[in-house]
């Protein structure tokens, strides 16, 4: 099985404004997603939610360090799952189930690079 990253992009403002009562539904949606990964014959190799982009520290070429994200965008990378799937089609099938509750949010699927080969 190959590894794929599911990158979750959403508007961080959604989470800044979510009510305490609505938060458990977000957590439950991700718990259900994890169950569905296994039900579809995949496996979970890791995953994490990320702190808001405003907490980022960016290091650019030449070693310049700045507070904030690399670029200003409406959507930001808010989390990641690493799954194992039979192939890209299987990974996409799994990724379609990944919750991205923020309006306009979505996910991106990318193969994880095997460090023993050059993927470029």
Q: What is the CATH number of the domain that holds 93?
A: 3.30.70.1060
Q: Would you say residue 118 lies in a domain?
A: no
Q: Would you say residue 119 lies in a domain?
A: no
pLDDT tens digit string along 20-53?
999 999 899 999 999 999 999 999 999 999 988 8
Q: Which domain holds residue 100?
A: 2-111
Segment 99-105 mean pLDDT: 75
pLDDT confidence of residue 58? 84
Say yes or no to pLDDT of 102 above 80. no
pLDDT confidence of residue 69? 66
Strand-pair category, 2-10 with 76-85: antiparallel
Segment 49-71 mean pLDDT: 82
Q: Would you say residue 116 lies in a domain?
A: no
**pTM tops 0.75:** yes
Q: Would you say residue 46 lies in a domain?
A: yes
The whole-angstrom separation of Cα 94 and Cα 119 is: 23
Q: Would you say residue 59 lies in a domain?
A: yes
Say yes or no to pLDDT of 91 above 90. yes
Q: Would you say residue 61 lies in a domain?
A: yes
Structural domains counted in the chain: 1
Percent of the chain with pLDDT over 70: 92
Q: What per-residue string of b and e applies to 6-43 under the rule 16 or more CB within 10 Å gives b?
A: bbbbbbbebeeeeeeeeeeebeeebeebeeebeeeebe
Q: Would you say residue 84 lies in a domain?
A: yes
């Amino acid at each position: 099985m190959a590894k794929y990253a599911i990158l979750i992009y959403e508007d961080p403002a959604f989470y800044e404004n979510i009510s305490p009562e609505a938060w458990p539904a977000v957590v439950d949606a991700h718990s259900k997603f994890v169950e569905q990964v296994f039900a579809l014959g995949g496996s979970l190799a890791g995953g994490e939610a990320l702190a808001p982009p405003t907490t980022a520290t960016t290091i650019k070429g030449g070693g310049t360090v700045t507070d904030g994200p690399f670029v200003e965008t409406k959507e930001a990378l808010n989390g990641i799952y690493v799954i194992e799937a039979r192939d890209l089609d299987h990974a996409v099938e799994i990724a379609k189930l990944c919750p991205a509750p923020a309006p306009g949010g979505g996910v991106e699927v990318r193969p994880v690079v095997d460090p023993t080969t050059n993927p470029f």
